Structure 1
Amino acid sequence: MTHKRLLLIVNPRAGRSKSRSPLFDAIALFSEAGYLISVHKTAGPGDATETAAREGGSYDLVVAVGGDGTLNEVIAGLMRLNPRPLLGYLPQGSTNDFAASLHISDHPVTAAVSMIRGTPKALDIGSWNERDFVYVASFGAFTKSSYTASQSAKNALGHFAYILEGMKDLNTLRPYKIRLNADGQTLDGEYLFGAVCNSTSIGGLMKLSPERVVLDDGKFEMLLIPNPKTPAELQNLVLALLNQQYDSQGLIFRHVASLRLETEEDLPWSLDGEYAPSAPVVNIVNHQGALTMLL
């Protein structure tokens, strides 16, 4: 029997409160399925990326074990390789937005069984200037709440936690003046928030029906929230967000393959929930089917 090689890149800090035994059971299942397994525990930020880039090419399958941040790092490393091994994900973190949109179980054994039986699925990967992201790049309001909302609030309130956290920002809500070109369409203006995503959920703030999100169509889903001029406009925007009516009430929703954003302002970004500093020019490109994932 020919053995396949599997590299598990494990973030030991993710899901620290969880028992490790289901993870051992998952590893045993991979072994029984004919995989020769190596395990790498990450030592700190960036280690998963370096490990995936340095060692991933010697493996048939590289599995990220941790939260969305760990997955993001592993993907950034694999994107440096050509050819690229198959990608797997055992979600162990506190935010597993992307896992939820892919219907990957947060129970390691269930996820491992799916992977072993699984079908390879092509996955678009986004680049934000030089950085890679998997499911969302966002700026402006609510962006900060994705890394400031307390974990207990996220767990208890989900979608509403972000809206409420954003509402607390309403007094500090500020428009960002940007020049934006999306697939050749000019959308210059003042926006409170913008996001491009390849996921059915953005940090609990925005939920998209699975019919609208195709993970390998070469397109991102883009949502822009224009700066409301009156309290009534603001109320309409909030209602449209809460009711998930993204085509209405002044919201701008598009499917785009690339965009270029320019601003003179300090514009904080979040990539897959991780902070990214402001840049005067941001080019975002969808790399269609850049990775293949076992689901």
Structure 2
Amino acid sequence: MRALLVVNPAATLTSARTRDVLTHALASDLKLEVASTEYRGHARDLGRTAAEDGETELVIALGGDGTVNEVVNGLLHGGPDPERLPRLAVVPGGSTNVFARALGLPNDAVEATGALLDALHTGTERTVGLGRADGVPGTDDAGAPPRWFTFCAGFGFDAGVVGRVERQRERGRRSTHPLYVRQVLRQFLREPHRRHGTITLERPGEKSTEGLVLSIVCNTAPWTYLGNKPVYAAPHASFDTGLDLLGLSRLTSAAVGRYGTQLLTSSPERGPRGKHALSLHDLTSFTLHSQVPLPFQMDGDHLGLRTSVGFAGVRRALRVIA
């Protein structure tokens, strides 16, 4: 099988020695080409080339969720076509690795490589659904290009946290879970719309929901991890269904305490709930509008400010070795 290994050398937990060991192990079973990313968006470009060359059968992403997201967007540049496109495999090398862990892979690169080789030997694969975000016609963001996400997107508060973390990483800080917790607190203290949200949810054939402060869109569960602890914003989200949405219309101190506790104690059976919580399951399409520009993130990658984002849940979008 002809395969491309896309390596992010800057990934949090990916050392040169680990890369060499994994490359040697994979090359023993595959006709392997190795490419290291050199700039933001390079993994996307490599994925697109692999999708278009007609020879690559498998693309392996070694890195964190951002690397995986770029590879997926490259593979799906021309649209989903699971039977034609190369398969995707993931070896976790980031700080959180939500997508890889949601697929059931170990959170250790060496162990995950062993699981990948076992899956290749047995021919084990699955076709997963993905989320897509689009520009909204008739708005300032109409020209925004479509972009795919594997496990989550956020519009509002949580995206602001992601943006803060990215700025800290640009200053040389490592992406750690304590860093995220600190940025959550700072975002809360400086959030101007925590009592009166600016986000409106629109769904075909349904009444609009106004006043959301936070909107988390999930393509699978868990939503994220704190160390080894899974956190479930939308417990029933799945790669086999459409998208799930958690919206909160209040982020006062009392609400943060209540919903923060519910997130920390969430489980596959129960997520956040209450007067100011909106939970929706298996959505095919919907739009989020804001009265003011808000931060937007996908798979933990901050994409700037937007006033409108259209979402679609696309089933059976890509084949994955897992």
1:132-170 residue CA offsets vs partner (Å, 9 max, x unmatched): 111111011132223434688964559xx54x5333333
Moved more, 105-114 or 129-138: 105-114
Shift of 1:5: 0.2
1:28-57 residue CA offsets vs partner (Å, 9 max, x unmatched): 332332x10001111201111111112334
Shift of 1:79: 0.5
Structure 2: gaps (5+ residues): 135-145
Q: Distance in 1 between matches of 2:107 and 2:76?
A: 25
Q: Quick check: 2:132–2:149 contact (8 Å CA) kept in 1?
A: yes
Asked whether 1:190 is paired with 2:247, we answer no
Match of 2:223 among 188, 191, 202: 202
Shift of 1:226: 0.8
Show the counterpart of 1:14: 11
Match of 1:225 among 233, 242, 248: 248
Q: How much is the aligned-residue C-alpha RMSD, in angstroms?
A: 2.8
**Paired letter, 1:214:** S
1:166-186 residue CA offsets vs partner (Å, 9 max, x unmatched): 333333221432331235433
The percentage of counterpart residues that share the same residue type is 24
- Cα separation, partners in 2 of 1:89 and 1:142, compared to 1, 3 Å: same
Show the counterpart of 1:167: 185
Show the counterpart of 2:140: none
**Paired letter, 2:279:** F
Q: Distance in 2 between matches of 1:290 and 1:128?
A: 14
Show the counterpart of 1:251: 277
TM-score scaled to structure 1, two decimals? 0.85
Q: Distance in 1 between matches of 2:86 and 2:190?
A: 45
- Cα separation, partners in 2 of 1:239 and 1:109, compared to 1, 3 Å: closer
- Cα separation, partners in 2 of 1:259 and 1:249, compared to 1, 3 Å: same
The secondary structure found in structure 1 opposite 2:5 is: strand
Show the counterpart of 1:141: 157
Match of 1:216 among 240, 243, 259: 240
1:84-135 residue CA offsets vs partner (Å, 9 max, x unmatched): 1110111112231222322322433321221122221111111111111111
Structure 1: gaps (5+ residues): none
Question: What is the number of equivalent residue pairs in this alignment?
Answer: 285
- Cα separation, partners in 2 of 1:31 and 1:166, compared to 1, 3 Å: closer
The secondary structure found in structure 2 opposite 1:277 is: strand
Show the counterpart of 1:42: 37
Match of 2:301 among 260, 271, 274: 274
Q: Distance in 2 between matches of 1:89 and 1:63?
A: 5
The secondary structure found in structure 2 opposite 1:169 is: helix
The secondary structure found in structure 1 opposite 2:185 is: helix
Q: Quick check: 2:64–2:93 contact (8 Å CA) kept in 1?
A: yes
The secondary structure found in structure 1 opposite 2:47 is: helix
Q: Distance in 1 between matches of 2:199 and 2:117?
A: 46
Show the counterpart of 1:85: 86
The secondary structure found in structure 2 opposite 1:185 is: coil
Shift of 1:261: 1.7
Show the counterpart of 1:76: 73
Q: Quick check: 1:88–1:293 contact (8 Å CA) kept in 2?
A: yes
Asked whether 1:290 is paired with 2:313, we answer no
Q: Quick check: 1:220–1:286 contact (8 Å CA) kept in 2?
A: yes
Match of 2:262 among 221, 240, 249: 240
Q: Quick check: 1:52–1:78 contact (8 Å CA) kept in 2?
A: yes
